Amino acid sequence: MAAPRAFVFDAYGTLFDVHSVVEAARTVTADPQALSLLWRQKQLEYTWLRSLMGRYEDFWLVTSQALRFALRRLGLAADEAQIDALMGAYLTLSPFPEVPGALRALHGRPLAILSNGSPRMLEGAVRSSGLAGIFDHVLSVDAVGVYKPSPRVYELAPRALGLAPGEIVFVSSNGWDVAGAAAFGFTTCWCNRTNAPAEELGLTPDYEVDRLDAIPEKVGV
């Protein structure tokens, strides 16, 4: 396989730990992990449903709607100040511990983020995690008004980088996202942090790692 000319990363669950909202969730529940898991599940469901219905709203609103559903579903009471605090946690998500070193190891090739996140959400997460200035592009689905795994989203990366999809390694921890990227034509790397089974979508990642800092050796850069 030819040496990659650029790396494009998913944000949520790949660079940033979406479940770092657990600490904020302790203010409304004794089981913050359950709230975090349901919140994330509904967040993704709503992106897919809105894409299929042709009713796009940005990721901030989708995240808020998913949170409100999760609170009701779990029978949790939260006032608007508590909801605002939970939402604010998405602007300061923690990066996974190996992320800064992994990105430094890939320095010398263009690096980009391609995410469902709104520009404001991505800017906040990148800045608060100390990753400002590392990425050549931070690309949001807002530009096309539809969510992953639409090919219109994946097209944003080769257009911004001026490269063919196969020259780009697309990295995500989400198996469905890797499948969508593979269907589009990217070289793909699945960061399988939880040793999950592969998705049954007839598409296999080119590379698989359990941490982002394993990418350079795995890919051979």
What are the pLDDT digits (tens) for 27-51? 999 999 999 999 999 999 999 999 9
pLDDT of the residue at 211: 97
Confidence of residue 52 (pLDDT cuts 50, 70, 90): very high
Q: In this predicted structure, what is the pLDDT of residue 3?
A: 86
Average pLDDT over the chain reads 96
* pLDDT of 11 above 90: yes
Question: Residue 221: what pLDDT?
Answer: 85
Query: 194 vs 13, 96, 135, 191, CA distance in Å?
Result: 11, 13, 26, 9
**pLDDT band at 2; cut points 50, 70, 90:** confident
Q: In the chain, pLDDT over 70 holds for what percent of residues?
A: 100
- Domain coordinates in residue numbering, the chain: 6-16+93-219, 18-91
Confidence of residue 164 (pLDDT cuts 50, 70, 90): very high
Q: Supply φ then ψ for residue 39, to 5 degrees.
A: -60, -50
Task: Assign 159 a pLDDT band (cuts: 50, 70, 90).
Answer: very high
Hunting for tokens 């904020």 — which residue is that?
24
As a whole number of angstroms, the distance between CA 51 and CA 48 comes to: 5
Which CATH code, of 1.10.150.240, 2.40.50.140, 1.10.3210.10, 3.90.550.10, is assigned to 18-91? 1.10.150.240
CATH 2.40.110.10 fits 6-16+93-219, yes or no: no
> pLDDT, tens digit, for every residue of 107-151?
899 999 999 999 999 999 999 999 999 999 999 999 999 999 999
Catalogue the active-site residues. Answer: 10
Decide if pLDDT at 1 tops 80.
no
